[in-house]
Amino acid sequence: MVQMAEERDGHVPVLREEVVAALNIARDSVVVDATYGRGGHTRAIMARLGEGGRMVVIDRDPEAVARAREEWSADQRIDIVQAPFSRLRAILEDYDLCGHVTGILFDLGVSSPQLDDASRGFSFSHDGPLDMRMNPASGIGAADWLEQVEEADLVRVLKTLGEERFARRVAASIKAHGRFDTTGELARVVAGAVPTREPGKHPATRTFQAIRMAVNRELEEIESVLPQALDALAQGGRLVVISFHSLEDRLVKRFIRDQSRGDPYPPDLPVRHDMLNPRLRPVGKATRASGDELHANRRARSAVLRVAEKVSAT
């Protein structure tokens, strides 16, 4: 049934079986899917929850939330919230669930349905209005952002978020062009500014990624939510994160590392290990998609799964 639903929707969730195993789901678990998307992970989780289980799903994309409400309207075990996941603590406080959650999942980045819908303006492959907002009713779209951003700031964004080697050339071409209205228009200008081609990659790939991440403040969202997720978990609860960008993964890896080390005492202070008060324990190593999954789903090629367990109630 799960497989049929996903094929009908045209979306296959990345690392689904690994996510379900990492969440260590019992029939009475309380699980948060903080990035619902098209619900592939949620379906797999709900299939393992019993009548006493509970689930909260969050997404800032109104289309994703509308699909979730349509699919789960008759199931009393699930609550659906439209919001950025940086509001996690407030959402869970509304449901009196802070400190009682047994598993939280983040599947970071943009979803395949968002990329495939030309009207959302995420992709250089489908010409449409240049928007890129995960919630089109909030903030400013990519066209307005590009019009307002200073060239030096655009260079920094392209270098940092897009790892674009030709950031200065691309930024200069974008600012010289003036107002952009469509994704195709931006893709053509960027392609003209990039002097070399990477095999199998459109020359505008890095620029589109960087602009999307800046418009949606994606790294800031992650930095804000990770401490909230830790507070929300019960002792023994699992934090499960899928990253698709090296900067995302670096934030997650550093957070798990720091929280597993415990309190930051000076290095020359004689402190016993049991005094450090670590709050997380890494579970296994970083996981990537298998060869079979990569063959079936190209989006999984850059996915990195990290898992940690809360070991302290404080």
Q: Where are the domains of the chain?
A: 2-112+218-310, 135-215
Instruction: For residue 80, give both structure tokens.
Output: 């659906």
Contact in structure between 131 and 144 (CB atoms under 8 Å): no
CA distances from 198 to 18, 164, 186, 195 (A): 31, 12, 18, 10
- Fold observed for domain 2-112+218-310: Rossmann fold (3.40.50)
* pLDDT for residue 9: 54
The answer on pLDDT for 275 being more than 70 is no
pLDDT band at 295 (very low <50, low <70, confident <90, very high): confident
Q: What is the pLDDT of residue 289?
A: 93
State yes or no: pLDDT of 110 exceeds 70: yes
Rounded mean pLDDT of 249-254?
97
- Predicted local distance difference test score (pLDDT) of residue 8: 45
Beta partners for residue 31, in sequence order: 55, 103
Alpha-carbon distances, residue 174 vs 121, 151, 154, 183, 193 (angstroms): 17, 9, 9, 12, 9
**pTM of the shown model:** 0.91
**What pLDDT does residue 263 have?**
60
Question: Does residue 13 register a pLDDT over 60?
Answer: yes
CB 287 within 8 A of CB 15: yes
Distance, C-alpha 196 to centroid of its chain: 30
Nearest alpha-carbon partner for 195 in 163, 160, 170: 170
What pLDDT does 1 receive?
Answer: 37
What gap in Å lies between CA 192 and CA 208, rounded to an integer?
14
CB 157 within 8 A of CB 210: yes
pLDDT at 5 over 50: no
Q: How far apart are CA 255 and CA 307, in angstroms?
A: 11
Mean pLDDT of all residues in 51-80? 97
- Per-residue pLDDT at 199: 87
15-56 pLDDT, tens per residue? 999 999 999 999 999 999 999 999 999 999 999 999 999 999
Tell me if 2-112+218-310 shares its fold with 135-215: no
pLDDT band at 7 (very low <50, low <70, confident <90, very high): very low
Pair 35, 58: CB distance under 8 Å: yes
Pairwise pLDDT comparison (233 vs 5), residue with the higher score: 233
Q: Coil, strand or helix: which one is 118?
A: helix
The residue with greater pLDDT, 170 or 201, is 170
Model pLDDT, residue 116: 80
88: confidence class by pLDDT, cuts 50, 70, 90? very high
| Whole-number pLDDT of residue 270 | 54
| 6 or 254, which is more confident | 254
Query: Average pLDDT of the chain?
Result: 91
Which one is the CATH code of 135-215: 1.10.150.170, 3.40.309.10, 1.10.3720.10, 2.70.98.10? 1.10.150.170
Q: Tell me what the mean pLDDT of segment 202-217 comes to.
A: 96
Instruction: Please check the confidence at residue 262 and state whether its pLDDT lies above 80.
Output: no
For 306, phi then psi, to 5°, come to -125, 140
Backbone φ, ψ for residue 312 (5° rounding): -130, 135
Integer Cα distance of 235 and 314 in angstroms: 9
Q: Which DSSP letter does residue 263 get? A: S
Give the residue-averaged pLDDT of 61-72. 96
Task: Please check the confidence at residue 185 and state whether its pLDDT lies above 50.
Answer: yes
